[in-house]
Each structure stands twice: as structure tokens, then as C-alpha cells.
């Protein structure tokens, strides 16, 4: 194997290692989309949300949610991801509130 070929292989291995390490830092995201519909039937799509923290939905809340990510989420009727009336929504599934109930106003990602 020539010196140039070895150097190219080594450089590629280093770059691949750096790329993988860069993808697994604090900026981790849930790959995919979360789509929801507000009470006024407005559709909203969130692409690759962070796996950390509490995420707010529209101020009026969401009545339908489609979790098209590779991770599970928990939906809450409050803006701060708290409350006893939360709803667990597995990856690649959807849910809709029962008429005349409080809409979801936030969600968190389970990772």
C-alpha cells in the first residue's frame, strides 16, 4: 500500500470519527417530524426537535398529534410539561383529544 493511500485512509478515518462525535453532542435531535393540528384546524410541523427540554405547542393547543420521529414523546395539557393528564405517544403513531377536553400545550421527548 502506498504512503499516499495510507494517508488518505487515515484522514478519512479521522474525519469519520469527528463527524460521528459531532452528531452526538448536546444538540441531539429526534429524527423526523412532529405534526399537529390546532383547535382552529391549522396544521403545524416541527422537524427534528431537540431531545432535551420542554417544547411548547401553539398557544391554543393541539387537538391532533402525529409523532413521525424515531422516539417516543409525552404530551401535556400545560405549557410546562407537567400535570397528571399527560399522554404517552410512541414513535410513528398519532392521537387525537376527546371532544370538549383540554388540548395539549407542550411535549417532551423520551430518549
pLDDT score for 84? 86
The pTM of this model reads 0.75
Average pLDDT over residues 15-21: 45
- Give pLDDT tens digits for 39-75: 999 999 999 999 999 999 999 999 999 999 999 999 9
Where does residue 33 rank: exposed (0-12), middle (13-18), buried (19+ CB within 10 A)?
Answer: middle
Average pLDDT over residues 74-95: 96
Amino acid at each position: 500500500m502506498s504512503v499516499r493511500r495510507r494517508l488518505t485512509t487515515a484522514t478519512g478515518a479521522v474525519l469519520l470519527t469527528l463527524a460521528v462525535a459531532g452528531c452526538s453532542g448536546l444538540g441531539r435531535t429526534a429524527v423526523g417530524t412532529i405534526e399537529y393540528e390546532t383547535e382552529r384546524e391549522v396544521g403545524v410541523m416541527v422537524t427534528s426537535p431537540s431531545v432535551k427540554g420542554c417544547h411548547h405547542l401553539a398557544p391554543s393547543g393541539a387537538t391532533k398529534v402525529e409523532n413521525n420521529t424515531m422516539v417516543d414523546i409525552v404530551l401535556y395539557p400545560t405549557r410546562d410539561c407537567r400535570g397528571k393528564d399527560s399522554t404517552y405517544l410512541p414513535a410513528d403513531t398519532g392521537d387525537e383529544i376527546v371532544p370538549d377536553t383540554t388540548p395539549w400545550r407542550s411535549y417532551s421527548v423520551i430518549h
